Amino acid sequence: MCRTRMYTSLCSDEYNAETLRMIDEDPECQIIVATIAFSNGINAKSILDSISLGFSSTRDIVVQEKGRAGRAEGSLARGVVLVQPATIAAAKKQRQVAAPPAIPSNTAAPKKITSKKNQRKPSAPMAPEKASILVEEIWYIAFFNRHYSNPP
């Protein structure tokens, strides 16, 4: 009985081939821990759940990754993405539509004193499409249907 397997470049080719065989043929094999490369070119029809740690750079890549689950006709599958709270906070900050409060013209803004030692380099802005799905709180399927113009 083998409930969990790894599939990475660190494993031997023979081990990875056996893992691929087990995905579709061994009902005891339930969990595959893999790198993102696993989602490229693998056609394992019995995968029902795809769980990723971190959100890819674009919404389309996430859809492609999650599309590896549920390939067997009639199967119900899930795609789950685990995202750090800081990533969601950054997405919300980017998506804010409220303008910052105006400073009266006769008042100078106070200068913020920072030391170079504690300054962080600004991170690259998040892709708007990525931010839009990360701030969605309820209707993920409807969100994707609107994005891809799927019929209701």
**Residue 119 resides in a domain:** no
pLDDT beneath 50, residues of the chain = 97-99, 102
Q: What is the pLDDT of residue 5?
A: 92
How many domains does the chain divide into? Answer: 2
Q: Is 0.85 surpassed by the pTM of this model?
A: no
Q: Which domain holds residue 146?
A: 85-95+125-152
Q: What is the pLDDT of residue 112?
A: 59
Residue 50's φ and ψ, nearest 5 degrees, are -125, 115
Q: Are residues 47 and 90 in the same domain?
A: no
What is residue 97's predicted lDDT score, i.e. its pLDDT? Answer: 43
Burial of 119 (0-12, 13-18, 19+ CB in 10 A): exposed
- Looking at residue 84, its pLDDT comes to 94
pLDDT value for 14: 96
